[in-house]
Structure 1
Amino acid sequence: MRPDALILAFDTSAAHCAAALLQGDTVLAQAEELMAKGQAERLIPLLEEVLAQGGRRWSDLDALAVGTGPGNFTGVRIAVAAARGLALGLDIPALGVTTLEARAHGLPRPLVVAEDARRGAFYVQTFGPDTAACLSETIPEGPQHPPLFPLAEAIARVAAKCAPEGPPSPFYLRGADAAPPSDPPPVILDVD
Structure 2
Amino acid sequence: MQPKPTLLAFDTSAAHCAAALLFGDTIITQVDEMAKGQAEHLMPMLERMLVAQALTWRDLDGIGVGVGPGNFTGIRIALSAARGLALGLGKPAIGVSGFEARAFGETLPHKATIPAPRNQSYVQEFRRSGPTQPMQRAEPANPQKPPADLIAAVAQIAVSRLGTAAARPSPLYVRSADAAPPRDPAPVILP
TM-score norm. by structure 2 comes to 0.84
CA contact (8 A) 2:96 2:157 kept: yes
Percent of paired sites with the same residue: 51
CA distance in 1, matches of 2:46, 2:126: 31
Cα distance change of structure 1 residues 147 and 69 upon mapping to structure 2, 3 Å threshold: same
Size of the alignment, in residue pairs? 184
Q: How does 1:1-192 map to 2 (within 5 A)?
A: 4-27=4-27, 29-128=28-127, 130-134=128-132, 135=134, 147=145, 150-162=149-161, 163-178=164-179, 188=189, 190=191
Answer whether contact 2:113 2:122 (CA < 8 A) is retained. yes
Letter in 1 for 2:4: D
Task: Name the CA distance, whole Å, in 1 between partners of 2:36 and 2:186.
Answer: 28
Q: Answer yes or no: is the 8 Å Cα contact 1:19–1:30 preserved in 2.
A: yes
Deviation, structure 1 residue 52: 1.6
Shift of 1:147: 3.6
| 1:122-159 CA-partner distances (Å, limit 9, x unpaired) | 0111111x21111467799xxx7764862221101011
Q: Residues of 2 paired with 1:179 and 1:122: CA distance?
A: 22
* Consecutive unaligned residues in structure 2, runs of 5 or more: none
Query: Which AA in structure 1 matches 2:166?
Result: E
Q: Any stretches of 5+ residues in structure 1 without a counterpart?
A: none
Q: Contact between 2:68 and 2:173, CA under 8 Å: does it hold in 1?
A: yes
Distance 1:102 1:126, change over 3 A: same
Structure 1 segments, 4+ long, off by >2 Å, are: 135-140, 144-149, 175-190
Distance in 1 separating the partners of 2:47 and 2:183? 39
In structure 1, what is the Cα distance between the partners aligned to 2:182 and 2:53?
44
CA contact (8 A) 1:105 1:154 kept: yes
Question: Is the partner of 1:102 in helix, strand or coil?
Answer: helix
Give the direction of change, closer, same or farther, for the CA distance of 1:102–1:3 in structure 2 (3 Å limit).
farther
